[in-house]
C-alpha cells in the first residue's frame, strides 16, 4: 500500500453500475483514492455500501470507497488529479458543465483536473470543453471513452451484478478548434490507463476515440431505439419469420444511413457493416435473452433518455455533412416526443 501522499485523488460523479466498477478498479490499483458523488442514493450507499458480485471484481460485501458525498459542491474541497463522469449524458436536462460547475467556478482555487467522460453517445465533451476553456486560461484536458460493460445495479440500488465482459477504450478529446494534445495531456491519459489496468480493468487507448465511440453508438442509435419505441427487447423483432421479414428492411435501411454517415466522417465503415449488424440483431440473440437495452429500461421507468447524445448528435452530423437520414430523423422525432412528455411530467426543464 502506498503512502497516502502518493495517491492520486480522483473524484467520480455518478455512482451507478459503471461508477461502482470504475471506483473499484481505481482503488484496487492502490495508486488512487476515490471520492464519490452519489446524487440519487447518497444515504443508502453511505450507510450500507454496495454488495458487489462480479465476474471481474469478485464478491465484496458492503463495499465502500474512500469518501462519499451527495453533491459535487460538497466534494469540491481539494485538488483532484482526475474527475471521472459516469452519469448518463443528458445535455437537455443537466449539461455536464452545470453538473460540474463547482469545479469550474472561480471560487474553486485548485488547479484544474483531467476530466474523464465515460459516457454513451457523441458530442458529450463539447459543452464541458467550452465551459472549462471559458473559465480557465489553460487548455482543458478531457479524456473520453467508450464503455463496454455487462453490469447493473440491483433494484434495491445497494447491489452490483456483473458478468465477465468489461472493456474501456479511451482517448483524448480534441475539439474542432483546439490545438493538438500537449505532452501533459498525453501523459495524463497514459497514467489513467495504467492505473485502471493495474486495478484490473480491460482498459486501452484508441487510435481514434471518436471512431470507436461512433461504432459503439450504432447499436444504441438503431437497435436500442427501435426496441424502446416497440417497448420490446431485441429477440422480439424476429419472433416469427413473417415479423422478421417486416422488420429486416427498415432495420437494415436505418443501419445503412449510419454507414453512409460514418463514411462521410472519414471512418472505415463498409457496406457489409450494416448487413452484419442486421443479421446479428435478428438472428444473433438467444430468443430468451433477458438483456434489455438501457434506453428501454429508462422508458419503462419514465426516466430521461440519452436521446440527444445517442440519436440527436447523429442527426445533426447528418445535416452538417449532407447525408440523408430520414429514418434516423423519424426515430429522433418519436423519441423526442417521449422525452419531452417524461421531462414535463417530472417538472424538469426542457
155 part of the interface to ligand NAG, by CB under 6 A? no
41 is a contact residue toward ligand NAG (CB under 6 A): yes
Tell the smallest beta-carbon distance from residue 103 to ligand NAG (Å): 23
The H or E element spanning position 156 is none
Q: How far is the CB of 164 from ligand NAG (least distance, A)?
A: 6
Q: How far is the CB of 162 from ligand NAG (least distance, A)?
A: 11
Sole window of 115-123, 165-173, 235-243, 263-271 interacting with ligand NAG (rule: CB under 6 A):
165-173
Q: How many helices (H) and strands (E) does the chain have?
A: 15, 10
Closest to 255 in 3D by CA, of 231, 236, 242, 237: 237
- Output 202 or 232, the one with its CB closest to ligand NAG: 202
Q: Judged by CB under 6 A, does residue 165 bind ligand NAG?
A: yes
306 is an interface residue for ligand NAG by CB under 6 A: no
Residue showing cell 502518493: 6
Binding of ligand NAG at residue 152 (CB under 6 A)?
Answer: no
157 contributes a contact to ligand NAG by CB under 6 A: yes
Site string for ligand NAG, 199-218 (x = CB under 6 A): ---x-x--------------
Shortest separation between residue 158's beta carbon and ligand NAG, angstroms: 8
Decide: 78 and 110 in contact? Cβ < 8 Å.
Answer: yes
Query: Which one of residues 44, 130, 206, 215 is an interface residue with ligand NAG (CB under 6 A)?
Result: 44
Tell me which residue of 276, 266, 269 sits closest to 223, measured CA to CA.
Answer: 276
Q: Does the protein bind ligand NAG through residue 167 (CB under 6 A)?
A: yes
Cβ neighbourhood burial of 133 (10 Å; 0-12, 13-18, 19+): middle
54 or 114: CB nearest ligand NAG: 54
Q: How far apart are CA 266 and CA 278, in angstroms?
A: 22
Count of C-beta atoms within a 10 Å radius of residue 299 = 20
Is the CB of residue 51 less than 8 Å from the CB of residue 159?
yes
Q: Which residue has the cell 423519441?
A: 335
Rounded to whole angstroms, how far apart are CA atoms 96 and 131?
9
How far apart are CB 320 and ligand NAG at their closest, in Å? 30
Cell numbers 458543465: residue: 97
Q: Which stretch binds ligand NAG (CB under 6 A): 107-115, 139-147, 164-172, 291-299?
A: 164-172
**Cα–Cα distance measured from residue 23 to residue 84, given in angstroms and rounded to the nearest whole number:** 9
Q: How far is the CB of 197 from ligand NAG (least distance, A)?
A: 11
Enumerate binding residues for ligand NAG (CB under 6 A). 40-41, 44, 157, 164-167, 202, 204
Amino acid at each position: 500500500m502506498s503512502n497516502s501522499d502518493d495517491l492520486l485523488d480522483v473524484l467520480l460523479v455518478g455512482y451507478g453500475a459503471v461508477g461502482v466498477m470504475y471506483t473499484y478498479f481505481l482503488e484496487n490499483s492502490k495508486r488512487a483514492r476515490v471520492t464519490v458523488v452519489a446524487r440519487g442514493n447518497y444515504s443508502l450507499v453511505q450507510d450500507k455500501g454496495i454488495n458487489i458480485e462480479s465476474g471481474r471484481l469478485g464478491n465484496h460485501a458492503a463495499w465502500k470507497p474512500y469518501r462519499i458525498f451527495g453533491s459535487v459542491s460538497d466534494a469540491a474541497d481539494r485538488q483532484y488529479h482526475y474527475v471521472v463522469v459516469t452519469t448518463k449524458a443528458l445535455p437537455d436536462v443537466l449539461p455536464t458543465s452545470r453538473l460540474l460547475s463547482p469545479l469550474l467556478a472561480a471560487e474553486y482555487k485548485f488547479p484544474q483536473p483531467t476530466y474523464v467522460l465515460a459516457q454513451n453517445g457523441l458530442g458529450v465533451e463539447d459543452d464541458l470543453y467550452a465551459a472549462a476553456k471559458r473559465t480557465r486560461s489553460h487548455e482543458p484536458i478531457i479524456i473520453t471513452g467508450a464503455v463496454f460493460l455487462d453490469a447493473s445495479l440491483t433494484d434495491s440500488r445497494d447491489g452490483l451484478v456483473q458478468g465477465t465482459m468489461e472493456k474501456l477504450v479511451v482517448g483524448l478529446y480534441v475539439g474542432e478548434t483546439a490545438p493538438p494534445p500537449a505532452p501533459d495531456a498525453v501523459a495524463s491519459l497514459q497514467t489513467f490507463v495504467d492505473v485502471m489496468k493495474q486495478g484490473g480493468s480491460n482498459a486501452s487507448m484508441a487510435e481514434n476515440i471518436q471512431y470507436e465511440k461512433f461504432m459503439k453508438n450504432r447499436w444504441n442509435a438503431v437497435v436500442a431505439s427501435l426496441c424502446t419505441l416497440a417497448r420490446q427487447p431485441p429477440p422480439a423483432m424476429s419472433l416469427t419469420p413473417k415479423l422478421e421479414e417486416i422488420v429486416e428492411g427498415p432495420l437494415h435501411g436505418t443501419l445503412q444511413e449510419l454507414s453512409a454517415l460514418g463514411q462521410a466522417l472519414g471512418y472505415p465503415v463498409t457496406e457489409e457493416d450494416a448487413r452484419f449488424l442486421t443479421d446479428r440483431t435478428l438472428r444473433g440473440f438467444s430468443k430468451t435473452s433477458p438483456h434489455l437495452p438501457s434506453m428501454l429500461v429508462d422508458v419503462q421507468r419514465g426516466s430521461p433518455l440519452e436521446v440527444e447524445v445517442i440519436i440527436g448528435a447523429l442527426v445533426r452530423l447528418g445535416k452538417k455533412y449532407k447525408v440523408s437520414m430520414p429514418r434516423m430523423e423519424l426515430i429522433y422525432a418519436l423519441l423526442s416526443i417521449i422525452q419531452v412528455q417524461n421531462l414535463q411530467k417530472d417538472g424538469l426543464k426542457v
